[in-house]
Amino acid sequence: MKLTVVGAGAWGSALAIAFSGRHVVTLWARQAEVRRVLREDRENPRFLPGQRFPETLRIADDFAAAVADADLLLIATPLAGLRPTLCMLRDADLVRPLLWACKGLEAVTARLPHQVVADVLGVQALCGAVSGPSFADEVARGLPTAVTLAANDAAFAQRTALALHSPRLRIYASDDLPGVEVGGAVKNVMAIATGVCDGLGLGLNARAALITRGLAEMARFGVALGGQAQTFMGLAGMGDLILTCTGDLSRNRRVGLGLASGKTLPQILLDLGHVAEGVSTTRAVAGLASRLRIDMPITQAVDAILYDGEPVASAVDKLLSRDPKSEAN
C-alpha cells in the first residue's frame, strides 16, 4: 500500500518509520527547511533524535504529488493543524481515504476530529482515527505497542487495521469513532492532573484514585457525545489514560509536574518544546461539559489552574473537600 503521512512531528515521524517495513511510505512536512533536514539527516533531530529513517522512507517536497500518489493518508499534525490540512486536500481536490492521529477537541469549536472532517469534507465513510497508549519514541524504536483504529465504517476500520497491523505495532479495529476520540482527548487532561498530584507528593494512593475517577469522567463525557461505555475500558480509554498519567515521556504529565513546582504555563511549554494537547483540550472539554451539564470536577480543577489563575494547592483542596457520593456517579 502507498501511504502518505502528513505532519513530521514526533508522532508522524514515528508512524512513518513503523509503517515503512511493509508499505511504501512518504512523509511530508509543511516547512521546507524541516523537509531538507529530514532528507539530509535521515532522522528527525528535533522530535526523534537518534531514530534513523529506513532507506525506503521518502521525504516529499510537493504536497499535491505526495497525496495524489497515496492509497491512504495519515494526518499526524497537532489538532490545530487538522482543519487547515483538510482544507488543503479539499481545495486541491485531493481527498483520499484518510486517518488522523491527532487527539483533542478543536479549541474554538470544541468539536471532535471526525466532526472537523465532516465540516470540511462532508460526511465521508472512508476515514477514521488512530489512538491508544503509544509514545512516539517507543514506536519508532520498534517496541511492542497496541493501538485502536476507529471508523464509522466498520468494514473500512477492519480492512485498514489489518493492512497496517504488524507484530510490533498491533492495531485493533473499532466502530466507536467518538468514543475513541474522547478517550484520546480527555486522557491528556487527566495526565496534567496526575502530574500535579505527583509533583505535590500526594502519594501513590492519591494517584490511583485520581486516575480511576478520571476514567469515570472520561466515560461520562464520552457516552454523552455518542461513545460506547465499553470503549473506555479498552486501549483508547483506560490503556491510554494509564500510560499518559504514569509515563515519564508524557508531555501533559510534565505540564502538571511543572505547575506543581510553581512554574508558569508559558515557561513550562517553552521548556517542553513540543505541543501538549491537554492544555487547549482542557478548556474545550470543560466548556462543553458545562454546557451539557456533565459533572467533571477533575477537568474543572485543571481548567481553573490553567486559565483562571487558581493556585494549585487551592484547586486540590477543593477536590478533596467535595462531598462523598456513590462511586457509580
Which amino acids are annotated catalytic?
Answer: 187
| Cell of residue 303, nine digits | 481548567
Any residues with CB less than 8 A from the CB of 44 and at least 6 apart, and which?
8, 9, 10, 13, 38, 51, 53
| CA distances (Å), origin 221, targets 1, 141, 273, 288, 299 | 36, 34, 30, 9, 11
Give CA separation, 260 vs 1, 106, 200, 264, 301, in Å.
46, 26, 6, 10, 13
On the 0-12 / 13-18 / 19+ scale of CB atoms within 10 A, 182 is buried
8 Å CB contact between 79 and 104: yes
CA dist 250 to 75, 188, 254, 316, Å? Answer: 21, 9, 6, 21
**How far is the C-alpha of 329 from the C-alpha of 321, rounded, in Å?**
16
* Among the listed residues 300, 302, 305, 297, the one whose alpha carbon sits nearest the alpha carbon of residue 323: 297
CA distances from 192 to 104, 189, 229, 272 (A): 14, 5, 23, 14
